[in-house]
Amino acid sequence: MSRKSWLIIIAGLTVGSMLVCAGLFGLTMWFLDNIGADSSTLAFGDAIAIVRVEGVIVSGEAPPPNPFGGVNGMAYSQTIIKYLQDADENEDVKAIILYVDSPGGSVYASDEIYRQLMIMNKPVIAAMGSLAASGGYYVSAPTQEIWVSPHTLTCSIGVISQFLNLEEFGEEFGVKTITVKSGKFKDTGNPFRSFNEEDRALWQDIIDEAYDGFVNIVAEGRGMEEATVRQLADGRVCTGKQAQKMGFVDELGYLPEVIDRAAEVGGIEGEPRIIEYNEETSIWEAFAASAAQPNDPLESLKQMIHYHPGSSLMYLYVGP
């Protein structure tokens, strides 16, 4: 057999092997994407839904999961709202658990979730994880019951806005900014000039307005006097035990106990079926998202420090 014939045979075997490998890979991905998906979709009967608020609360929808990048530590308001709506419309779901493990986050995003909770038709019980502070408490307040571990850090009822001041840094390294503005407050928060008393008074009014809203929501959700809430809502973080004594939570317990309670509230006899609402993006979409969004160190740093241009109102616990 000639050398040319051997080369043709080898090339054919190589191409054939590649096609077989590609087929096996595709079959594996299909299996993971379909058979390995939420198994609750294959079951029937009364169920408890779990919707998770984990990480810093931000507005918008969650991006497709990155198979190489891990979890981004954000709780996206529109995605959580969608899960709540889906659970409310699912005839099999008899009660919903809002599992909160979050330091809070955006005032706007927290309020979006709160407003959805206020129009739910089915009972919703909050279960707090290791941390459910500030905005994490805000979204728990309207639920029918709040369950918490004795060791959970919660409360931190208050509002915060933080501004960077790089004026001295700029002077040391010769960095100058030129600002053209239409009014004296237009550049409030500019990191290259001092934050003066007029700026502080302006932002204090904004903070106080958001704080009043937080206090009213807690008072309404917990059936407490506004004055009582205001006395305790000084931004302090507290343990689950302390929160129960102050009237901010109902019961001490962990997720298994909350599931049992949700089944009782939902009228389910026996062990309930659990439906976890989470991202339903296919494995192909995840790989595409990973390829389209390379790991940018600057973007990772911005996420880590919750960087955003200017300064937004935050229901955020900024402790260690």
Find the CATH number of the domain harbouring 106: 3.90.226.10
What pLDDT score was predicted for residue 168? 82
Active-site option among 184, 186, 245, 302: 186
Active-site option among 106, 110, 134, 140: 134
Task: Please state, in angstroms and rounded to a whole number, the distance separating the CA atoms of residues 104 and 213.
Answer: 15
Decide if 285 is inside a domain: yes
Quote the domain boundaries for residue 64.
45-162+198-316
Question: What pairs with residue 276 in β-bridges?
Answer: 50
Decide if 25 is inside a domain: no
Q: Mind listing the pLDDT tens digit for each residue in 184-239?
A: 999 888 888 888 999 999 999 999 999 999 999 999 999 999 999 999 999 999 99
Active site (annotated) includes residue 186: yes
Active site (annotated) includes residue 176: no
Q: Mind listing the pLDDT tens digit for each residue in 83-111?
A: 999 999 999 999 999 999 999 999 999 99
Cβ–Cβ < 8 Å for 96, 48? yes
Q: Where are the beta strands (DSSP E) in the chain?
A: 47-54, 56-58, 74-76, 93-102, 104-106, 124-133, 145-148, 153-155, 237-239, 251-252, 273-277, 314-316
Is the pLDDT at 41 greater than 50? The verdict is: no
Q: How many CA atoms lie within 13 A of 65 on its CB side?
A: 12
- β pairing state of 74-76 and 93-102: unpaired
Q: Binning pLDDT at 50, 70 and 90, where does residue 37 land? A: very low
Decide if 17 is inside a domain: no
Decide if 171 is inside a domain: no
Decide if 36 is inside a domain: no
Cβ–Cβ < 8 Å for 139, 117? yes
Return the SS3 of 260.
helix
Decide if 226 is inside a domain: yes
What pLDDT score was predicted for residue 298? 47
* Structural domains of the chain, count: 1
Decide if 98 is inside a domain: yes
Both tokens assigned to 104: 């809070």
**pTM given for the model:** 0.79
Decide if 185 is inside a domain: no
